[in-house]
Every structure is written in structure tokens, then in C-alpha cells.
Chains A and B, each alone.
Chain A
Amino acid sequence: MAGISSYGAYIPPHRLSLDALSGRAPLDGGPEKAVAWNDEDSVTMAVAAGVDCLAGFDRKLVDAVYFASTSYPFREKQGAALIARALDLGRELQATDYSNSLRAGTTALRAAADAIDAGSATCVLVIASDCRMGAPGSSLERNSGDGAAAFLVSKDSAIATMEASRAVTDEIIDVWRSEGDDFVHSWEDRFVVQEGYAPRMTEAVDGLLADGDDSVSDYDKVALYGPDHRSRAGVARTLGLAEGQLTDAFFGRLGNAGVAFAPLQLVAALENGRPGERILVANYGDGADALALKVNDGIEQLPARRAVGWHLERRQPVTSYDQYLKARDLGTSEWEAQAGPGLSATVHFRERDSNLSFCGQRCRACGAVQFPVQRVCESCFARDDFDGTRLSDRSGKLVTWTFDYFFPTPAPPTVVGIVDIGGARVHMQLVNCAPDDVRLGMPLEFEFRCMHRAGGRPNYYWKATPAAEPATSEGR
């Protein structure tokens, strides 16, 4: 039976204080939400969650990629294909985007299990990622947060078996976004909860329990999507959940991460999961999905992931609401931001291994690693005698640095450096690193980021970030 063999997550480090949103001075330890910065979006977060999920796995085993999001930057042009390229998964795979509903993440997870049970795939990477935009001043802006969750779904179900699923589908105008809208709209929230969210969630869960002749008390953990803390607690009451059964939804720390919200709660449940535990996940959007999982012994062997816990601890407070508006391009400017035709599509095509997959080459004659791809070896001058080698999951070391005060960014300066990656030297921007913390020789790792949006398209590449201590499995 299909199940989960690995998981990962990404939560952007920037945290916007809800007090700052209300124009008050932020309190230490006060409620906040995770916000994607100007160089992040649903794609970059998805890639980061994918990297976390794939750590220790042979990427060539992945034969399908399902990407779920309501906030993918393109209306046409596949996200899963872009993410597969950034993760260097090769071309021999099936790719699908799941979109247009907050339920897309659990729908993709269920579809992955179905594909495996049907034999049309053996190892599916499912990533749910969302970066939803609430209009400035709206309650959605307050409640929403950004993040991504990733799962490897395969037949061996090493860490959790997907035992059952149930879906109900309903048509309702509750939250929506039309062509051309920047922000999510919502009908009156009391209607949305009373006729949409609450009844459909209980309907799906009750249906799943009836199918399995189960009762909700048979589950150790119940993860529920919720538009806000109060509505979610209401559904938990209706379902009759006991103390400790309902998982933490991280309101006041992460925020409602849209498509990724329920999947992130599932990641957190697995992060602390013990063999034999049963987990119930319910998700809402134009109906509801319910999934039942059982944790397996293999969870003890999975190397620690950064997952939700590590990312929640990694915080970079945003010092002003104005900075947030700049980061999300919600300010006004005399000029259209970074106008012009943008990248040449042909150059992008030729350089996609370097720019998207962050692959360099190793000289077969002398062994030197170099970047980007070039015809004549920098070290021994051998011609056209190279093997490709991926740099994105190697570690690097800072050779030298400067602070650039002119590159457009919400909070200058931009930290820029030369990074040594296995002997290759690469000029890169550093993120998650205050100027005072920059040190020659500091160890670095790499994150997929949006460099700019020239031409009205996101243009992606990689940035360096201080190498983190390996995640520990203390939570388990």
C-alpha cells in the first residue's frame, strides 16, 4: 500500500509581527507570521522543501512530481517542470500542477498514492507551497503565512502508510481570486465558516471514520486546516477531539499557509511521530479531503529533517511594515519595477543546467570542479572532457565578500561574496546573514531564489546562506 517515505518543509525566516501590522510597537515573543521575502515565492519555497525532503535519497528514483499551489507565479507554464529542473530530477518523469483550490495539497497527496497503487509511478515527490496575498489591512493579510511542505510517496511506505482517504466536493463562493486579481477575496466570514468550512470538514472526517468503522478517538493526532484559530477550534469541538489530539497549527508563529497549511501540520506530526501512531488529516477548499495515516517503524531510521521545527526556530524579525510592503512589491514607484524584456528565453534555455539546477562540471582530465559550464578547462585546458556535477547540495566556503548598497532589495545592503564550492568559485548573494555576521571562510549552503522579475517573469537562480547545524531528531 502506498505511503510516505520522506518529508520536508520550508518556512521563510522573515517574521512580520502582527502588532507591527496593526501599527503598534512589536512585542518580544508576540504573535507573528512567516512571510516570503522579495526573492521568495511559492516556487522557491517548494524547491527548498523538496531539498529537505530529498536529503539522503537518490534523486533519480523520483519518477513523478506533483506541485500544489494557488499562488504559482505563471498562469500558463508548468510549475512542477520548473521545480523538477531546480531539483535536478532529470527529464524522465511525469509532472503535474494541482491548483485553484486550498485543497490542492491533500488532493495531490491522494493522487500520488493512487498513482503508486495503480502502478503508474513508483516514487512521487509531492510539494504543497503557498504564498497567498491578503490585501494590505485585510484580515487575510493578518491570518495568512507562507510556507511549503514536501513528501516522497512510494510503495514501501517506509515512515507512514496512507490507509484511507475520503473526499467531499461542494460548490460555494467563499474565497476566490479572479483573473487579474492580486489579492484573495472572501464573502462574509460567518457564512464561509457556517456553510462551507465547518460542515464540509466534519462531513469528510465522519465519512472517513464510517468507511473504516473507526472513531475519532482511534487517532493519536488530528491535523486540521483552519482559516483562523477560532473556526478551527470549533471544528475540533464538533469532532469531539480530546485534549492533545489536535495538532498545533502554529497560528501566531507561521499563519495560515494556504495549500501548504494542512500538509505542514502533517509534516510536524511526522516529525514527532512514533511507530504505530495514527494520524488524521483534514483539509478544506471547495469541499474537503480527509486522509488517514499510520506511522511505521521506518520513521526511526529517517535521518532528521529540518522540517517544521527547525524552520520555526529560525527567525528573522521584519523591522517595519514598510519593509514588508517593499518585499511584496506592494509599494508605489514612479517606474514599473525592472521593466524591459527581461532574460532572453534562448539564453535561459541554454543555461538552465547552470542557473536552475546549479550544476557545474568536473574535468575528467584533472578533476577540477568549475562553474558555469564551459568548453575548455580552467585548470588543465582540456577541451570538452567534463562530467556534470550538481553544486546545489554541496557545502561552500566564503572566500571574500562585499556589501552592495545599490542592488534593489527591501533592506540594503545586499551581502555578496565569492564562494568556493569544491574548488569552483562562484559569485553569489548571501541571504539570512546580517553584515556583522559575515566572516571569511564561513561555511555556506545554497537556496533557490528569485533574482529579479525583469520582463514581468520571475527569474530564478541560487543564493548562498550560512550553513546550518544539522537538524536533530530530539523531537521524536
Chain B
Amino acid sequence: MGKDALRDKVSVVGVGCCHFGENWDQSPSDMIVDAAYEAYADAGIDEPQKRIEAVFTGSLYTTQGPHECADALKLFERPVSMVSNYCATGTDAFRFGVMSIASGLYDTVLVVGYDKPKDRGVSGPSVMMDGVRDLPRTPAGWFSLCAATYFDRYGAGREDLARIAVKNHHNGTLAPKSWLKREITVDDVLGARMISWPFGLYDCAAQTDGAAAVVLSRSDLARGFRDDPVLVKAVTISSGPNPQKDPGNDFLSWKPNGWAAADAYEQAGISDPRSEIGVAQVHDCFSLTELLAYEDLGFCDKGSAKEHIADGKFELDGDLPVNTDGGLKAFGHPTGATGVRMIYENTLQLQGRAEKRQVKNPRLALSHNLGGHPTACGIAILGRD
């Protein structure tokens, strides 16, 4: 099969997302119901038990596996599966949904990503002591490992990272369902307590509870759901070696980013991403992760990110707005939900429904997850036509 085998075969016909945050009074099931029933309504589905033929779920912290979603939504007598791929879980669940329709097996499926980290009693990931090697084992420590090398090579610094956090906080104030709605300044970022150098508190994403859902359908049936379905142009996952033990790693970029981007652009028939992509949601678990994504995904040349950050290219009114809803930083990061939340935002942007944060006339929208050490990158590209 050719790389374009998926292109345009599947459409997003409904999206939903619960309010992300410290949802102390909501169970995973409560959030799943909020997100899925919003997606049903968005797709005009009022009898989901009859219309949804299969469910693909993704969660990192689940204690019940796929049954959690099946039971919450009472979707029985059909396949309900769970995908786990660290922070790329949401995009991978979406990918399985897309492939299941493209294969011809189903007409309409539901994708649900969710997580409930705030029931664990810790802020952020816990310090794990179940081994002796590779300690401390925290995402901030892993993702910061490109900083010393990148700063040394390209002359960027903490101020450049801070501007990314400031941008995402601003965008978050414009998204109704985001967790953090507070403008911050570069000085706030630089003055915050350190987590793992060069990341201070504001360089780190907000770990929250949340769920997001997408209804997918065969493209030739999509207009039966709504008039403005969004086409799936590409979706891919690339695994990579653990950069911490990969002998060839230069710690200037994350290898899976480039591999996944090349595959996604080929699937979608994109030759010049920086002019063709109109809006992007990229994985900003940490400020530097977003900076490296600009370069690894081809939004700008290697080493030039700080100049484009300075001239506003990635802000809401820039040439290529990134993380229009505040991203993981401000919207929140319930691990399994994040990739699906990005599909939700990109769908609204392509349909012109993003209200105060609407970017001008995007035709192609990219979403990007980076998970593990990082060891997996997921990319999905949606298009208006």
C-alpha cells in the first residue's frame, strides 16, 4: 500500500472535551461521559448504542482498562480496546480508530482519551524508586537533557523558552475549557522555582484530569453527520530508541519527531509544511519540547527557533499559530486525553468555531504528541478539504 492509503478516507464528524483541571468531584467515568456525549451531539448522534460500532480508548493511569469506557458509556456487544503509548497515547488511539474505518471494517467509531492523575495524591509525576538505574526518573529530567547541548550549540537560553510559556498561558485564557486562565510574564517564568534545569515551574505543563472524544466516520458518509466534516490527511506513530542510551543521540532534537513528521507529510502529500500548515497543536510538556518541535517538524530551520519565537511566528496572529488553546501548559495534560484534545482543537479551528482564539482561515492543521523518554512521536494532520 502507498503512503497515501489513508488520506481522506476517514473524517472527523464530532468532537467533545470535558473541562480540564483538578476535577476533584469527577470520576474518570464522569469525564468520559461529558466528552463522549458532547462528541455525539456534535455529530448529531442521538442513539450512540446503535451508531458507534467500535471504541478505541487511551489512558495511562487507568485501573480498569477498556472496561472503564465501555461501562461509562454502556457500549457493549462491540469491540472496546485500550491503547497505551505514554504521552502519545491519545494520538495512537485516534490512529487505531482511523485505521479501523480505512480498513473497511466499520463505518463509525468513537475515540476516547482520558486520564485522572489527580487521584494519586501527588503534584506532577511521582519520584519512582523501583529500580536503581536511571534515577531520578522524572519527565522534567528527561526532557531537559536537550537543553545544555542545544543552548551551547545555538545560543538560545531560558528567556526564549519563557516566551513559549507566556504565549501558551495567553492562549489558555481564550479557551473556555482550559485549566489555567492567567496571563504570565517572562519574569514570572524566570523567577519561578526550579524543577529540573532549565525548567522552572512555568516551563512545565500542568498535569490535570480530563477526557476528550472524537467520532470518526467514513468520508463518503461524513456529510450525513454534519455539513463541515474534517478530513484525516495523515496519522502516524514513530518509535525511537531511548535517547538516554542511544549511542548516536546528539541531544539537539528528538529523533522520533523527524521520523514521524516525514511519514505524516508524505501521507498527507505535504511538501512545504511551513507554508501549508495553518495551525498546529504540538506537545509542550515542557517549553523546550515545543521549541524543538518547531524545528524537528520543519516549521523553521534547525537552530533558528529563537528568532521565530521573538518575531511572533507561533503566536495566535503569527504565520503559524501553535497551541492555540494553551497547549499542555495551560489547557492541561491528562496524558491519555491530550492527543484527542488536540484533534478537538484542530477540528474547531478548521471549522471556524474556535471563537476568540480562531486563527485566520487554516486549511491544514497538525497535532503532535511526544511520549516516553521520549521514545514515541505521534502526528495527525487534518484538512478542511
Contact = CB atoms under 8 A, between A and B. Distances in A.
A370 B133 CA distance: 15
Q: Which of B131, B132, B193, B246 has the most CB of A within 10 A?
A: B132
Given A407-B135, A427-B133, A400 B251 contact: yes
| Interface size, B (range) | 20 to 34
Nearest to B144: A402
B136 interface: yes
A340 B128 CA distance: 11
Given A400-B149, A406-B195, A371 B138 contact: no
Contacts, number: 105
Interface stretch (A198-206, A284-292, A312-320, A416-424): A416-424
Interface stretch (A145-153, A235-243, A247-255, A451-459): A451-459
Nearest to B241: A378
Interface bin, chain A: 35 or more
B152 A440 contact: yes
A425 B248 CA distance: 9
Given A347-B131, A372-B133, A406-B195, A400 B247 contact: no
Given A343-B130, A418-B145, A429 B135 contact: yes
Interface in A393-411: 399-408
B196 A440 contact: no
B238 to A, nearest CB: 17
B1 to A, nearest CB: 25
B343 interface: no
A461 interface: yes
B132 A370 contact: no
Given A406-B195, A408-B127, A459-B132, A418 B244 contact: yes
Contacts of B127: 406-408
A355 B246 CA distance: 19
A244 to B, nearest CB: 47
Nearest to A450: B132
B148 A400 contact: yes
B245 interface: yes
Contacts of B145: 400-402, 418
B148 A440 contact: yes
B146 A400 contact: yes
Interface in B134-162: 134-136, 138, 140-141, 144-149, 152
Interface in A419-476: 423-427, 429, 435, 440, 451-452, 454, 459-461
B41 interface: no
Contact of A425 (B132, B193, B197, B245): B245
A406 B251 CA distance: 22
B192 to A, nearest CB: 11
A379 interface: yes
A400 B144 CA distance: 9
A354 interface: yes
Main secondary structure of the interface of B (DSSP, over half): loop
B249 interface: yes
A468 B241 CA distance: 32
Contacts of A340: 129
B247 A416 contact: no
A126 to B, nearest CB: 27
Contacts of B147: 400, 402
B193 A461 contact: no
B250 to A, nearest CB: 9
Nearest to B153: A440
A452 B135 contact: yes
Contact of B149 (A371, A440, A451): A440
Contacts of A154: none
A378 B198 CA distance: 30
A17 interface: no
Contact of B244 (A347, A378, A427): A427
B5 interface: no
B241 to A, nearest CB: 7
A461 B132 contact: yes
Contact of A399 (B144, B197, B251): B251
Given A370-B247, A404-B196, A405-B196, A354 B133 contact: yes
A425 B130 contact: no
A423 B145 CA distance: 18
B310 interface: no
Interface in B152-180: 152
B247 A413 contact: no
Interface in B190-223: 193-198
Given A400-B148, A404-B141, A425-B244, A414 B133 contact: no
B132 A355 contact: yes
Nearest to A401: B148
B292 to A, nearest CB: 13
A378 B147 CA distance: 25
Contacts of B136: 404, 406-407, 414, 416, 429
B96 to A, nearest CB: 27
Contact of A343 (B132, B149, B194, B244): B132
A368 B247 contact: yes
Contacts of B198: 402
Given A399-B249, A406-B140, A418-B145, 14 more contacts: A338-B129, A347-B131, A378-B246, A379-B247, A400-B147, A400-B148, A405-B195, A406-B196, A407-B136, A414-B136, A423-B247, A435-B197, A451-B135, A452-B135
Interface of B: 127, 129-136, 138, 140-141, 144-149, 152, 193-198, 241, 244-247, 249, 251
17 contacts: A354-B133, A355-B132, A378-B246, A400-B149, A402-B145, A402-B198, A403-B197, A405-B195, A405-B196, A416-B136, A418-B145, A418-B244, A423-B247, A424-B245, A425-B249, A435-B197, A452-B132
Which 5 pairs of residues, A with B, have the shortest CB-CB distance? A407-B136, A461-B132, A403-B197, A402-B144, A427-B244
